[in-house]
Amino acid sequence: MKSATSKLLHPICGRTLVGHVLAASQALDPEHLVVVVGHAREAVTAHVADVAPEAITAHQTEQLGTGNAVRRALEALPEEPGTVVVLNGDAPLLTTGTLRELIAEHTGANNAATVLSATVPDPTGLGRIVRDADGALERIVEQRDATPAERAIHEINSGMFAFDGPLLRAALKRLTTDNAQGQEYLTDVVALLRGDGHPVAAVVAPDYRETLGCNDRVELALLRALLRDRLLDAWMREGVTVVDPATVWIDAGVTIGRDAVIYPNVQLQGSTVIGAGAQVGPDSTLTDTQVGEGAAVVRTHSQGARIAAGATVGPFAYLRPGTVLGEGGKIGTFVETKNADIGAASKVPHLTYVGDATIGEHSNIGASSVFVNYDGVRKQHSTIGSHVRTGSDNMFVAPVTIGDGAYTAAGSVITDDVPPGAMGVARARQRNVEGWVERRRAGTPAAEAAARARAAGSSGGSQTGDEPGGPVSGASAGEPPAETEK
């Protein structure tokens, strides 16, 4: 992999390589679950404890082969009868269904060993399954030891097995390192058991891709694409519309309701849940986000947010952790939210930051508003009541409360609470400084335009402004706010 990260910890579709194998194994409810670790032991052990707390880890101090690895795993377990299933940690496409078939065949035939095999398009470099005239497993032969006829076989050993536990323990003690690589091969256990007269068999995986492993970044990308296609196929067959599967990525932990529509260039990550009939995209990335039934999310980046039924988000919105948008609510264009609880049917339509705030129901936040929540030391909370109308270009300096039914005037910096039903105004009155441009900007195109307008007897429109640094406002103190949306 040419990576500082263990191969097992490289992620695809929301889980690590080993995480996918653990998930398939956990669904079997095994009595014991052991992960053999070697390279990057500390990191792998910590990850296993996080995703599979019931699993234990066994340390292979030296990488002395697959047989040695299984020996280390069994040393961590009590000696008891039962089936031991051995899996590769880098086979993320393996399914629980295939494992069940392997175990059923193994126990049903009372085998000593059962190999999970696969019929592959190109077997180059892989161990071949050699069967006798009756179709029974005769032996497993590595390519370097195979005859030309054996190399033509396309059924290969996946490296995954089911064993009779006590027989496996006994056979492992007989393994040697008398081979080209000086390692203990698990495949030799199969040969030993067959030589002792015990029944062995090979079960062909229903899809050879389930047995694929990963040895470099090219193969990692291939596995990722295959898993993405499998997940999308499954959801589409469950009644989800994916408009362009080639550009959509869905993690294994995502849940999607029927009649949801996923548009191009969408990424659904982590534990995201999309409700029935919801629409997501195009160009949205949702991580650990809940989207309610019938909601619409367009060109949005969201992490850890909850969007209720019938709500709309975007385009170009950024929902950070702790965002809650109520039923029928709206978070609009170029709006960022964080730790914000926005009530049912309330709207934050444009160009606004809402952080550490609670907004009641049926309220409207004017464009270009900022909830000033950080004083350089502490984060503070703001509360906007229900049926509130705030003007454009407002600053709410936390902690502050706007009562139910209150208004705030455009351009206000609100530092004090506004009682219910009151109008909050916090701005200077406008004054016009006549002739300022011609005096202070003489010779400029603006001054020439002003002169022409005066000469023509026209005011040239409302001239607003003041000396540099003076206040600019759009309405007097007694006027209602300029709202951006009703």
Q: Which of 32, 154, 198, 350 is catalytic?
A: 350
Residues 135 and 254 in one domain: no
- Residue 454 within any structural domain of the chain: no
Q: Which among 375, 399, 424 is the end of a domain?
A: 424
Residues 382 and 295 in one domain: yes
| Chain mean position to CA 185 | 38
Residues 231 and 358 in one domain: yes
Question: pLDDT tens, 333-367?
Answer: 999 999 999 999 999 999 999 999 999 999 999 99
Residues 147 and 234 in one domain: no
- Residue 333 within any structural domain of the chain: yes
Residues 384 and 336 in one domain: yes
- Residue 431 within any structural domain of the chain: no
Residues 15 and 132 in one domain: yes
Question: pLDDT tens, 11-52?
Answer: 999 999 999 999 999 999 999 999 999 888 999 999 999 999
332 and 316 Cβ atoms separated by less than 8 Å: no
14 and 252 Cβ atoms separated by less than 8 Å: yes
Backbone Cα Rg of the chain: 33
Q: Cβ of 1: how many Cβ atoms within 10 Å?
A: 16
CATH number of the domain encompassing residue 118? 3.90.550.10
The confidence score (pLDDT) of residue 477 equals: 40
The confidence score (pLDDT) of residue 458 equals: 55
- Residue 355 within any structural domain of the chain: yes
Q: Which of 214, 239, 241 is nearest to 226 (CA)?
A: 214
Stretch 290-300: mean pLDDT: 98
pLDDT exceeds cutoff 70 at 161: yes
CA distance linking residue 404 with residue 279, whole number of Å: 32
Q: Which among 378, 394, 424 is the end of a domain?
A: 424
Question: pLDDT tens, 299-322?
Answer: 999 999 999 999 999 999 999 999
Residues 166 and 234 in one domain: no
Residues 159 and 275 in one domain: no
- Residue 432 within any structural domain of the chain: no
Q: Which of 160, 117, 159 is nearest to 135 (CA)?
A: 117
326 and 343 Cβ atoms separated by less than 8 Å: yes
Residues 191 and 256 in one domain: no
Which residues form the domain of 275?
A: 221-424
Number of domains, the chain: 2
Q: Which of 125, 149, 127, 151 is nearest to 140 (CA)?
A: 127
6 and 44 Cβ atoms separated by less than 8 Å: yes
Active site (annotated) includes residue 350: yes
User: Exposed (0-12), middle (13-18) or buried (19+): which is 6, by Cβ within 10 Å?
Assistant: buried
- Residue 443 within any structural domain of the chain: no
CATH number of the domain encompassing residue 398? 2.160.10.10
| Long-range CB contact pairs, 121-126, < 8 A, 24+ | 121/154, 121/208, 123/151, 123/153, 123/154, 123/155, 123/156, 126/156, 126/157
Q: Which among 192, 211, 230 is the end of a domain?
A: 211
The confidence score (pLDDT) of residue 470 equals: 39
Residues 197 and 234 in one domain: no
Question: pLDDT tens, 163-217?
Answer: 999 999 999 999 998 877 788 999 999 999 999 999 999 999 999 999 999 999 9
- Residue 447 within any structural domain of the chain: no
282 and 265 Cβ atoms separated by less than 8 Å: yes
Residues 280 and 350 in one domain: yes
- Give the DSSP H or E segment for 96: helix 96-108
- Residue 455 within any structural domain of the chain: no
pLDDT exceeds cutoff 50 at 459: no
Residues 238 and 184 in one domain: no
Q: Which of 322, 323, 379, 369 is nearest to 348 (CA)?
A: 369
